[in-house]
Structure 1
Amino acid sequence: MKYFIAFIFILVLSNAVAQISPDCTTAIPICNNTPVNSGTNSYGVDDFNGANTSGCLEKTLSGAIESNSAWYRFRTNATGQLGFNISIDTSEDWDFALYRSSDCNNLGTPVRCNFKDNKDENSFIGVGEDPTGNTNNNGYEAWLSVTPGEDYYLLINNFSNINSGFSIQFSGNIFTTNPYDALDCSIISNLLGPPIAACEADYIELDATTSDALSYSWYKNLGSGFVQIAGESNPTLVILDSAEYRVVVARAAGNIISDVQVGFTPNPMANSVSNKEFCYDESSIDLNAVDAEVLGAQNPQEFVVSYHSTFSDAVNNVNGLDKNHPKSSGTETIYIRVTSFENPKCYDVSQDFNIVVSEEIIQDFPSIVYLCEDVSTAILGDDTPNANYTYLWDSGETSAVITASVAGTYTLTISTNTGGITCSESFTIELVISNAPVISNVIISDLQDNNTVTIETLEIGDYEYRIDNDAYQDSAFFENVLPGLHTVYVNDIKGCGIASETVVIVGFYKFFTPNGDGVNDNWTVEGLDTLDSPLLSIFDRYGKLIKQLNTSQPLWDGYYNGVQMPASDYWFQLSFLDANGERVLAKYINNHFALKR
């Protein structure tokens, strides 16, 4: 839940007679202290002159739009966001309309209006956000964006014949930027000033000092009329109780009578909270679960509990933590604020507690370990153990690492103690036996336009492949391989070895037709010039050597000792000098071709 700075200025006083007006023309002015109200009783004149509707409002059981109504007026003195909360009994049905106007005879259409019943038994209606965090409250209208000097009239209407009263609570960020003058006090001309909403034990002094006063008399009304306060004749009066107060200033020019309402809200108390210890995981901490410990026997419907990351934020009621507070390892101090719903100026920030979250146990060791066929054992586990951890394998071993030789899955449980709790995480490690690669065949397609190479291995493994010094690739197939001498490599990704072979890529015709037509009259092999001292030996199908070619004599015309050879298949071998100067045969060449006549 996120909280805005909310100044709650009206209190419900069961024994106080409220300043309240049922008519627009005598609307009670609201300043930085809002009038105290103890209920509404019918209405005065019909401010809507018999109209059936005003905005969302409709005629009530009274036969007019107004029923048990109260009118207030206020003027903005800042720019920003403004809202209000009307606190009501959950069993009662209240409505409201807000007019941007300075003339009761020209109210216009309300800028915010709510006529919905309270079948959900909400404890607040208003503009902005329900202070309890209830986002499904249909008794709320959107925030107002205000600028200085805007006049408003607020009608609060009760559909019932009997009601238990309400309180008005203003909210919005204009009270953050302008905590003392968000509403313009110049609209109030009362000698004793605007009504006062105070916190229990606040020092409240009423000052009626008048230059030409002859005497002062003070009165108190607890619900059954004003009664003079014996012995009080000074121009000031220190207030200790919630009530409506009156001063009569006797003057030669005529007496001044001024009334003011004062209400005290009990201060909430934050109870001490024990530190909370958690194991680290991806979930959050539910701070809602701490509310009951903070409030103790106090009614949760009367107070809001918020949590903050600094004491300053708690004092200023800003940057409230989300009640689903994310976990982070280590110790975090949480500062508590308990605020009265009736009057947010009444709060307690005396308590804090620590959230202690264990270290996140991270698997910083391999989850798969490969054991090469020529190695007897492998090391599994955490080879850089944490001194704060304990280790337990499913085999019963308690070391951070173990040696293993049998392929399979091993389980390691790592634990750490945080305060009074033990936190554990289990990790699986798979031991895989891996064989070194062995090249069984290299398929070469010498197509001249696009020479391809495919590497085959004796076993299927987790291998990667490359030709010469190119980068490794996942595929064993290579295209557009240039003619010449190449080395192919197969690397076991698990680290169990690299296999290599030297291959020769040459391009040769699959057949030739030595008939003297000038087309394919000779047979040759492309790419001999890329090899060192190549020697190409041609054999007939019976293995008889027919011809030898080299870079000086690269062509065969189909003759042997001056005699035309018959149409048939012929075979060849290609040899060359390797890096050591030794003559070797080229492997993996598809070494036969056809003579056609």
Structure 2
Amino acid sequence: MRFIILFFLFSNFTIAQISPDCSTAIPICNNTPVNSGTNSFGVDDFAGVSESGCLERTASGSIESNSAWYRFRTSATGQLGFNISTATDEDWDFALYKTDDCSNLGDPLRCNFLDNGDQNSFLGVGEDPTGATDNIQYEDWLSVMPGEEYYLLINNFSNVNSGFSIQFSGDIFVTNPYDALDCTIISNLLGPPIAACESDFVQLDATSTGALSYEWYRDDGSGYTQIVGATTAILNVLDSSNYRVVVTRAADNIISDVQVSFSARPVANTVGDKFFCFDEAVFDLSTFDVEVLGSQNPDDFLITYHATFSDAVTGFNALENNHVKSAGTETVYIRISSLANPNCYDASQDFQLIVSEEIVQDFPATVYLCEAISSASIGDDTPNSNFTYLWSTGESTATINVAAAGIYELTVSTTVGTLTCTEVFDVTLVISKSPNITTVVVDDLQANNTVLVHTELDGNYEYQIDEEPFQMSSQFTNVLPGMHTVTVNDLEGCGTDSETIIVVGFKRFFSPNGDGINDEWSVEGLETLDSPVLLIFDRYGKLLQQLDLAQTAWDGLYKGIQMPASDYWFQLSYLETDGSRVVAKYINNHFSLKR
């Protein structure tokens, strides 16, 4: 939550209160005008040191170059911040010290020495009142308690300045709107300086016990001159100036001065309702400032935008400049306030921010058509009555039926005010054929049998072996020996294809030399099949041996004769459930005999 409660006067008033030295710092409280302008730094308040907190030496050779010192005392508990308003092409720094002794400043609690390369309008503690969230010239909020005393140094680094103003912010000005800062720090018959708005009624009261006469004087920069006819205890003030009263008493006289400054009261001009398409997710509220200002000088006023009228009146919760909008109608309330005095404001205007509905593609971007079906429906089957639809085919319905594979362009539009908002979407129709298994590569290495399924087309498929869950990969690992069923399913509902495969484990070679090691060749997993028969051939296709469940190994002999070292092949068959004998497919049926 942002609070902007108290501004201190910013003007080119020739009798501005400025002190370049800490020892004569200007006391400020709830209604004290602080005027602009710095010129040199007086005495070196840092006694020649090269740094104080973040502050470093400037071109002057001292930490200060063109400085202004102020002091204040808090009267409440809570959050405190301040905003220093400057010209965007100037470079200012600040440091805040918690102390009641200029000779013992210590390290600053808050400090900023960064340059103004981003051309910000404000620097300070808390939050930038314009709603900018990326201003690096802001430090964290300060937590304060009653009776704490602070010294604030404001320094112009660039040596070219058109002045500054100070505004205080924070929740202590909500809980204590009239005494968040202690005005007893200023001891004066006429009280602290007064910041007022033009046409405000300002009355100075010098009533004193034992007064014999009153004389009033005014100083517009050339010295005090007596105001003719002003001889009572009360003086009604209409103009900015320094005022003095001389109270004559029998025992002694009282002389008291006070500064009164009037600020222009701004006028918020009418801003027309604004229409936006939803796709412009963020926009800059400050682009409306020109309409609000009209012919008024933008350098004299601060414009903020708010979600409620109450916030606009108080200056609370300014919307960020980069405002994120939502679909529908939003009322935005305008506050324009004087940079010299935020109590001089106008919050009479608002406007409607009207944003179109969001156009989203909540329908499939890709549609699959099975080859056995003549056409498919594409588009939005739950259309929005506020939208219009136009296809690249010329049709203007939310959905259309198409038969040819390809990309179809759909333009969806809606209107808000006189603005037409449009989004273009592509819908792709893919003709999907039923899956067809072309081959299954069985790599039966015994330790880790793998099965890889190949299909005729690269479709949107999932794969299964036996009753295991479907998977997206076409490869299965750690497959046990035996008979298995692999299934390919088209995820678009265009059918399935299955194959029965045999996974057996066999030796890649054997060496029947009688050493008791690897003397026989056999196939593991035959027992999982119904009436398996395994035929072994030489390279010329001559049948050498028949194995079955009764004889499951070959010793490398044919009719008692040792077969030579060579490559041999085998064929495996078994009975299907219907009693027919089939030859196992996809088996790598090659092995070697070594001597």
Question: Normalising TM by the smaller chain, what interval?
Answer: 0.7 to 0.9
Does the aligned pair in 2 maintain the 1:243–1:262 contact within 8 Å? Answer: yes
Residue among 228, 241, 251 paired with 1:253: 251
Which stretch of the first structure deviates more once superposed, 109-118 or 78-87?
109-118
Separation (CA, whole Å) in 2 of partners of 1:36 and 1:446 = 91
Corresponding residue of 2:208: 210
After superposition, the C-alpha distances for 1:400-432 in whole angstroms (9 at most, x for unaligned) are 111222222111101111121111111111222
> Does the aligned pair in 2 maintain the 1:484–1:530 contact within 8 Å?
yes
User: Structure 2 vs 1, CA of residues 353 and 509 (structure 1 numbering), >3 Å: closer, same or farther?
Assistant: same
Is the alpha carbon distance of 1:227 and 1:96 closer, same or farther for their aligned partners in structure 2, counting shifts above 3 Å? Answer: farther
Partner residue of 2:7? 8
- Secondary structure of the residue that 2:292 maps to in structure 1? helix
After superposition, what is the alpha-carbon deviation per residue over 1:515-539, rounded to whole angstroms, capped at 9, x for unaligned?
76655565543223223x3231536
Alignment of 1:198-597 (within 5 A): 198-214=196-212, 216-223=214-221, 225-228=224-227, 230=229, 233=232, 235-281=233-279, 283-509=281-507, 524-531=522-529, 533-536=530-533, 538=535, 550-552=548-550, 554-555=552-553, 563-564=559-560, 567=563, 569=568, 571-578=570-577, 580=578, 583-591=581-589
Counterpart residue type for residue 567 of structure 1: M
Offset of residue 33 of structure 1: 2.2
After TM superposition, the structure 1 = structure 2 runs for residues 136-175 of structure 1, keeping only pairs within 5 Å, are 145=142, 147=144, 149-151=147-149, 166=163, 168-173=165-170, 175=173
Percent identical pairs in the alignment equals 55
Name structure 1 gaps, 5 residues minimum: none
Q: What is the deviation of 1:123?
A: 8.1
Aligned residue type for 2:357: E
Q: Deviations over 1:429-467 (max 9, x none)?
A: 122222222112223233333322222223444433221
Which digits, 9 at most, give the CA deviation of each residue in 1:340-389, with x for residues without a partner? 11112222222221211111111111112222222222222112211111
Measure the CA separation in 2 of the matches of 1:117 and 1:324. 23
Shift of 1:301: 0.5
- Structure 2 SS opposite 1:267: coil
Distance (whole Å) between structure 2 residues aligned to residue 97 and residue 57 of structure 1: 14
- Structure 2 residue identity aligned to 1:466: Q
CA distance in 2, matches of 1:259, 1:452: 100
Describe the shift of the 1:334–1:552 C-alpha distance in structure 2 as closer, same or farther (beyond 3 A).
same
Q: CA deviation at 1:552?
A: 4.9
- What is the deviation of 1:188? 1.6
Aligned residue type for 1:575: Y
Provide the secondary structure at the position in 2 that maps to 1:301. helix
Retained in 2: the 8 A contact 1:88–1:94?
Answer: no
Name the SS for the 2:299 alignment partner.
Answer: coil
Q: Secondary structure at the match of 2:312?
A: helix
- Pairwise CA distance, 1:213: 4.0
SS of aligned partner of 2:311 = helix
Equivalent pair of 2:268/2:336 in contact (CA under 8 Å)? yes
In 2, Cα distance between equivalents of 1:160 and 1:449: 80
Task: Give me the whole-angstrom Cα distance separating, in 2, the residues matched to 1:298 and 1:550.
Answer: 105
Gaps (5+ residues) in structure 2?
Answer: none
Deviations 1:8-33 (A, max 9, x none): 2235365x755677887665432222
Q: How many residues align?
A: 582
The change in CA–CA distance for 1:115 and 1:529 in structure 2 (over 3 A counts) is closer
Cα deviation for residue 261 of structure 1 reads 1.9
- CA shift for structure 1 position 487: 0.5
Matches of 2:19 and 2:85, distance apart in 1: 17
Deviations 1:283-325 (A, max 9, x none): 4112121010111111100011111223333233233222121
Q: Does the 8 A contact of 1:465 with 1:474 survive in 2?
A: yes
Q: Distance in 2 between matches of 1:508 and 1:65?
A: 89
- CA pair 41-574 structure 1, distance change in 2 beyond 3 A: closer
Aligned counterparts of 2:518 and 2:39: Cα–Cα separation in 1: 118
Structure 1 contact 57–115 (Cα < 8 Å) conserved: no
CA distance in 1, matches of 2:537, 2:119: 105
CA RMSD of aligned residues (A): 4.8
1:16-31 residue pairs with structure 2 within 5 A? 17=15, 28-31=26-29
Deviates more, 1:272-281 or 1:548-557: 548-557
Q: Hey, what's the Cα distance between the residues in 2 that align with 1:129 and 1:42?
A: 29
Does the residue aligned with 2:304 lie in a helix, a strand or coil? strand
CA contact (8 A) 2:131 2:318 kept: no
Q: Kindly state the Cα deviation for residue 130 of structure 1 after the two structures are TM-superposed.
A: 7.8
CA distance in 2, matches of 1:81, 1:404: 67
Asked whether the 8 Å contact 2:573–2:581 carries over to 1, the reply is no
TM-score by length of 1: 0.79
SS in 1 for 2:260: strand
Which deviates more from structure 2 when the two are superposed, residues 569-578 or residues 279-288? 569-578
CA distance in structure 2 between the aligned counterparts of 1:119 and 1:592, rounded to whole angstroms: 78
Q: Is the 8 A contact 1:39 1:164 kept in 2?
A: yes
Distance 1:326 1:136 in 2: 16
CA distance in 2, matches of 1:119, 1:520: 84
Q: What does residue 85 of structure 1 align with?
A: 84
Q: Which amino acid aligns with 2:463?
A: Y
**Superimposed CA distance per residue, residues 115-152 of structure 1 (whole angstroms, 9 cap, x where no aligned partner):** 999999998888888877899999x7967957554545
- Asked if the contact 1:34–1:168 (Cα under 8 Å) also holds between the matched residues in 2, the reply is no
CA distance in 2 between partners of 1:142 and 1:199 (Å): 30
